[in-house]
Chain A
Amino acid sequence: MTFLEVSDEIIPLVAPLRRTLRPSVLSDEQASVDELLNRVARGDGPAFELLYDRVANSVYGVIRRVLRDPAQSEEVTQEVLIEVWRFATRFDSERGSATTWIHTMAHRRAIDRVRSAQASHDRDEKVARRDQVTAYDEVAERVEARLEQQHVRRCLEHLTDLQRESVTLAYYGGYTYREVAEILDIPLGTVKTRMRDGLIRLRDCLGVTS
């Protein structure tokens, strides 16, 4: 089931790089994702188009990482972005940034999809997915090398191997921490700690403030 329509329009494939906010009146180009989402919450269609161009590639990218199948990933991407429009009214900036709200929605949708599809599959399949997590890294590297991506990758390299494997198997592979423990053959408690410590180290490296 799909409601894709073919368009002849030529649309730039790469989203503009994030701009720094200035305290003055902001043009559409300079508006932050948070501001755009607030406008979308008031039913502003043109703001939604701008918002789409800011977030669509990362939404698609993360869904594609988890699901791997391009057609299915496009379908879920479409569902998520329509949900962004529908539920923009419920976004609460007190609880985090707009980008995070959107990414979380995308990631959870992909996870739901992969877990329901994978429910009956066996361990061999899991190992195959693990290998593909790595293979996909290389593909993605060739396709695009944005500054932001390079920064995150550099920071990932600062994690211990176990931290990095735990974090990426969960986030990009879509595994539960129990499955990660099984794949890496380490105790559950260790996986929990590695995921938390890994994210904290990543946060410090990236300079996230919430």
Chain B
Amino acid sequence: MTEPDPHTLTGVYALDALDSAEQARFDEHLRGCAACRAEVAELTETASQLASAAALPVSPDVRAGVLAAVEHVRQVSPFPATADLDARRSRRWYQQPASIAAALMLVVSGGLGALALDERQQARVAEQRAARVTAVATDPDRLELSVPVSTGGYGTVVASGGSALFRTSDVKTLPDYQVYQLWILRSGSPQSAGLLGRGGVLEAFVDGVRPTDALGLTIEPEGGSVRPTGSLVLRVDMA
């Protein structure tokens, strides 16, 4: 199939009718194409009137729920949150390798050399971490599981001795107000295992996993959540 002319996709885009990969490509196109940006803006205003036309009375319970909730919800800063930067930094150790084995090689060898001097402390942490990652991936009794992500693709977990390597295939790109968040699902108290980004190959190294736990991946508002609020798109039981 030949690549379609992107300029003709403005209407489809305004109706949110592209699949996630195509939408990501068109977002990229929009960055460099002022004509499409202008047309998309107009057509999106038009599509928005289709929402106005669909208005229906919503239950007062929703109003009460929303107004009660926002009293406890902090607004994000007007600029991209530092949480995003932290998430990017923690992902550096495993950037887009072709396999878990490749990820390990990157972490163990080349990954550390590229660091600036002021990141020496982080490098030490990374070295310790690399040793633990190696221990997991080379344990003959390690657990290896692959399960589908409900929005497409799959996630793989390699676990041993309370530590787990988590890696997905190329997953659906989220809009810029959302993020994938990984959780240790323990009955009664899910614990965040970090923000993994908005799409692509997601990776994490998780410590303190018990055999009775599960790992869960949810879609959360940008900046992440204290406990899971979005839909669970993947769940892997460690037992």
Contact = CB atoms under 8 A, between A and B. Distances in A.
Contacts of A61: 51, 54-56
B41 interface: yes
Interface string A54-84: 0011111110110000000010011101110
A62 B50 contact: yes
A130 interface: no
A52 B66 contact: yes
A210 B41 contact: yes
Nearest to B222: A87
Interface of A: 1-7, 9-11, 13-15, 41, 43, 45, 48-49, 52, 56-62, 64-65, 74, 77-79, 81-83, 85-90, 95-97, 99-100, 103-108, 111-113, 115-116, 119, 140, 143-144, 146, 148-149, 151-153, 167-168, 170-172, 175-178, 180, 188-189, 191-193, 195-200, 202-203, 206, 208, 210
Most buried by A among B10, B11, B16, B60: B11
A11 B73 contact: no
A115 B77 CA distance: 30
Given A82-B69, A148-B52, A192-B11, A57 B57 contact: yes
A82 B73 contact: yes
A52 B221 CA distance: 19
Contact of A85 (B11, B41, B60, B73): B73
Contacts of B175: 108
Given A196-B43, A208-B46, 13 more contacts: A52-B66, A57-B55, A64-B54, A78-B62, A78-B69, A107-B47, A107-B51, A148-B53, A152-B50, A167-B15, A170-B12, A192-B12, A193-B8
Contacts of A78: 62, 65-66, 69
A85 B57 contact: no
A149 B52 contact: yes
B18 A176 contact: yes
Most buried by A among B55, B57, B59: B55
A107 B16 contact: yes
B60 to A, nearest CB: 4
Contacts of A85: 66, 70, 73, 75
A205 B117 CA distance: 62
A13 to B, nearest CB: 4
A59 B62 CA distance: 12
Interface in B1-33: 4, 8-12, 14-19
A15 B63 CA distance: 12
Please give me the 10 A-B residue pairs with the lowest Cβ-Cβ distance, nearest first: A196-B11, A7-B64, A152-B53, A60-B58, A61-B54, A195-B11, A13-B57, A62-B51, A170-B17, A103-B51
Contacts of A81: 62, 66
Contacts of B55: 15, 57-58, 60-61, 144, 146, 148-149
Interface of B: 4, 8-12, 14-19, 38, 41-71, 73-78, 150-152, 175, 177, 219, 221-222, 229-231, 233
Contacts of B14: 199
B76 to A, nearest CB: 6
Contacts of A191: 12
A152 B52 contact: yes
Contacts of A77: 58, 62
B52 A99 contact: yes
A104 B43 CA distance: 12
Nearest to A196: B11
Contacts of B41: 95-96, 210
23 contacts: A3-B68, A6-B61, A6-B64, A7-B60, A10-B60, A11-B63, A56-B66, A57-B57, A57-B58, A61-B55, A74-B59, A77-B62, A87-B222, A90-B177, A106-B51, A116-B150, A116-B233, A146-B55, A148-B52, A180-B17, A193-B8, A196-B12, A203-B45
Contacts of B63: 7, 11, 52, 56
A92 to B, nearest CB: 10
